[in-house]
């Protein structure tokens, strides 16, 4: 019995020693996400081992444990790529931002718990972060439409554009969801920005199947986006109302323009493609 107690004490001492040598911290810039939205996790690793620490000795050196509210552990559908294969200097810190959305099926609304686990074979050690919680919500659907994807070889392809809104804290946010049809396929979500609750967004799908959206983002401000079928933002502009408020106008050949209002500048650069999310199950 004394031998068992001694072994347990030694293991506990070893764990405390490891925690003093290497610390792993995680952070989320928000605690609520729309289903299929990117979930970037900031991971900070600090080396207090007194010597350089090898980072990324194996491809799976950094993994995540994701647990649903009912205690079920989610299995990743694909590997989480964290990079690595470098030395972290003594007393040094490295920060990585990793989107876990594509690896886990987080399409079911609910609360999830997240922990990061880092492995360091050169130390013969494993370090875990504290656990964070986040929520996945569906959001309120404002509009959706299915359209074909032009210039595709083989069988016709279709996507579904959906406008959603959800409160993030006290702010009402507008989202665009772009999903392949049928709905069980991959989807991408873009957070467009803040929106006023009483205004109805204007939208139009042009002959290229690009979606044009104009919505009121403030008391006198309006935001415009042009988004491709691959969820890439190719145009983003901001306007403010003057003698008349801005509105979408479509010509006979299907070209879209903004009429009325004043263009605000300088304009923000278009955002990059939203990363693919995990396959959705209904």
Read off the pLDDT of residues 18-60 as tens digits, 9 standing for 90 and up: 445 899 999 999 999 999 999 999 999 999 988 899 999 888 8
**What whole-number distance in Å separates Cα of residue 209 and Cα of residue 156?**
13
Predicted confidence at residue 100, as pLDDT, reads 95
Is the distance from CB of 48 to CB of 20 less than 8 angstroms?
Answer: yes
Q: What are phi and psi of 19, to 5 degrees?
A: -65, -30
**What class is the 21-136 domain?**
mainly beta
Distance CA 151, CA 269 (A): 27
State whether the Cα torsion 145-148-150-151 is positive or negative. Answer: positive
Task: Check residue 22 and give its pLDDT.
Answer: 92
C-alpha 154/C-alpha 163 separation (Å) is 29
Q: Which residues pair with 88 in a beta bridge?
A: 53
Closest CA to 32 of 191, 239, 240, 235: 191
Secondary structure E strands in 228-276: 233-240, 247-250, 256-259, 262-264
* Residue pLDDT, tens place only, 251-263: 888 789 999 999 9
Contact partners, residue 278, CB within 8 Å, separation at least 6: 36, 77, 101, 102, 103, 104, 105, 106, 107
pTM for the model stands at 0.79
159, 181 Cβ separation under 8 angstroms:
yes
pLDDT at 265: 75
- pLDDT of res. 50: 87
Q: What is the CA radius of gyration of the chain?
A: 24
The 10 Å Cβ neighbour count of residue 82 is: 18
Q: Map out the domains of the chain as residue ranges.
A: 21-136, 139-264
Q: Which runs of E-coded beta strand occur in 48-92?
A: 53-55, 62-68, 86-88
Q: How many residues does the chain have?
A: 282
Q: Which of 133, 185, 182, 188 is nearest to 164 (CA)?
A: 188
Helix (H, G, I), strand (E, B) or coil at 23: strand
Q: Give pLDDT, residue 5.
A: 40
Contact assessment for residue 183 and residue 168, using Cβ atoms and an 8 Å cutoff: no
The CA-CA-CA angle for residues 159, 160, 162, to 5°, reads 150
255 CB-near residues (< 8 Å, 6+ apart):
206
Token reading at 54: 């090898």
Give how far Cα 191 sits from Cα of 78, 173, 205, 251, Å. 24, 7, 19, 28
Residue ranges for the chain with pLDDT beneath 70: 1-20, 183-185, 266-282
């Amino acid at each position: 019995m004394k031998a068992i107690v001694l072994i347990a004490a030694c293991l506990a001492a070893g764990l405390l020693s490891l925690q003093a040598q290497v610390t792993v911290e995680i952070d989320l810039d928000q605690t609520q996400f729309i289903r299929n939205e990117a979930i970037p996790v900031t991971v900070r690793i600090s080396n207090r081992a007194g010597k350089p620490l090898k980072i990324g000795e194996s491809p799976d050196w950094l993994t995540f444990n994701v647990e649903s509210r009912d205690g079920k552990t989610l299995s990743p559908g694909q590997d989480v790529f964290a990079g690595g294969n470098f030395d972290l200097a003594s007393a040094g810190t490295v920060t990585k931002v990793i989107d876990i959305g594509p690896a886990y099926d987080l399409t079911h609304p609910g609360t999830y718990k997240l922990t990061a686990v880092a492995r360091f074979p050169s130390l013969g050690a494993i370090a875990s972060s504290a656990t964070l919680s986040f929520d996945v919500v569906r959001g309120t659907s404002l509009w959706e439409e299915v359209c074909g994807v032009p210039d595709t070889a083989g069988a016709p392809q279709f996507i579904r554009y959906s406008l959603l809104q959800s409160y993030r804290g006290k702010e009402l946010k507008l989202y665009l969801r772009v999903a392949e049809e049928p709905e069980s396929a991959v989807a991408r979500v873009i957070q467009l920005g803040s929106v006023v609750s009483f205004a109805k967004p204007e939208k139009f799908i042009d002959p290229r199947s690009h979606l044009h959206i104009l919505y009121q983002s403030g008391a006198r401000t309006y935001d415009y986006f042009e988004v491709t079928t691959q969820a890439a933002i190719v145009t983003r502009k901001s306007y403010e109302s003057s003698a008349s408020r801005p509105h979408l106008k479509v010509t006979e050949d299907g070209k879209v323009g903004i009429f009325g209002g004043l263009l605000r500048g300088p304009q923000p650069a278009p955002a990059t493609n939203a990363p693919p999310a995990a396959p959705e199950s209904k």
